[in-house]
């Protein structure tokens, strides 16, 4: 009996070892760990379909998608939780604050692009990172400039939807 238990410790396919943390790619010299969360097919599918890791798109398109998402969700906290939330100009203040933060984030991306960032490494969750996306200053700067455009566009869309919510609700019932 003890021999069977000892033999199962080194066998990942044994059902008793399904919830155990392993070294990535079964190599104990790597610094990341393969857990049931980051190695699950659902997590891998989700992370690999994000714009930063999706294969076959340009850095400009990546920046545009990331910027649109961030501009859209950054608007809400500024408009609805900011100091001007109870005024008539709350949405405009939220739009201006979101645009200001997007500009600061773009400046941070540009500074990072000029610092010679390392290339993306393969991990358990992203075994094949895009090699053409973030491998030069030019691609990082394309990402940053598209992030600015997408971020401002996302904030403007959120402002438009929030400011015209009554009209939009009237159109759909």
Secondary structure string (H, E, C) spanning 114-162: CCCCCCCCCCCCCCCCCCCCCCCHHHHHHHHHHHHHHHHHHHHHHHHHH
pLDDT at 33: 77
Tokens of 36: 């049931």
Residues of the chain with pLDDT under 50: none
Domain range list for the chain: 1-172
Topology annotation, domain 1-172:
Photosystem 1 Reaction Centre Subunit Xi; Chain: L; (1.20.1240)
pLDDT at 16: 65
**DSSP state at residue 19:** T
CB 8 within 8 A of CB 14: yes
Reported as a single tens digit per residue, the pLDDT across 96-136 is 999 999 999 999 999 999 998 888 888 888 888 887 778 88
Q: How far apart are CA 155 and CA 126, in angstroms?
A: 30
Q: Is 141 strand, coil or helix? A: helix
């Amino acid at each position: 009996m003890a021999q069977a238990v000892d033999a199962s410790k080194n066998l990942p396919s044994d059902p008793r070892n399904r919830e155990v943390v392993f070294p990535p790619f079964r190599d104990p010299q790597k610094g990341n760990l393969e857990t049931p969360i980051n190695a699950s097919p659902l997590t891998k599918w989700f992370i690999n379909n994000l714009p930063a890791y999706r294969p076959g798109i340009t850095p400009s398109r990546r920046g545009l998608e990331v910027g649109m998402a961030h501009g859209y969700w950054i608007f809400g906290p500024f408009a609805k939780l900011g100091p001007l939330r109870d005024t008539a100009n709350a949405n405009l203040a939220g739009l201006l604050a979101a645009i200001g933060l997007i500009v600061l984030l773009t400046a941070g991306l540009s500074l990072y692009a000029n610092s010679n960032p390392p290339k993306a490494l393969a991990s358990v969750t992203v075994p094949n990172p895009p090699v053409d996306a973030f491998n030069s200053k030019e691609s990082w700067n394309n990402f940053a400039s598209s992030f600015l455009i997408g971020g401002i566009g996302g904030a403007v869309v959120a402002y438009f939807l929030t400011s015209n919510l009554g009209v939009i609700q009237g159109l759909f019932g």
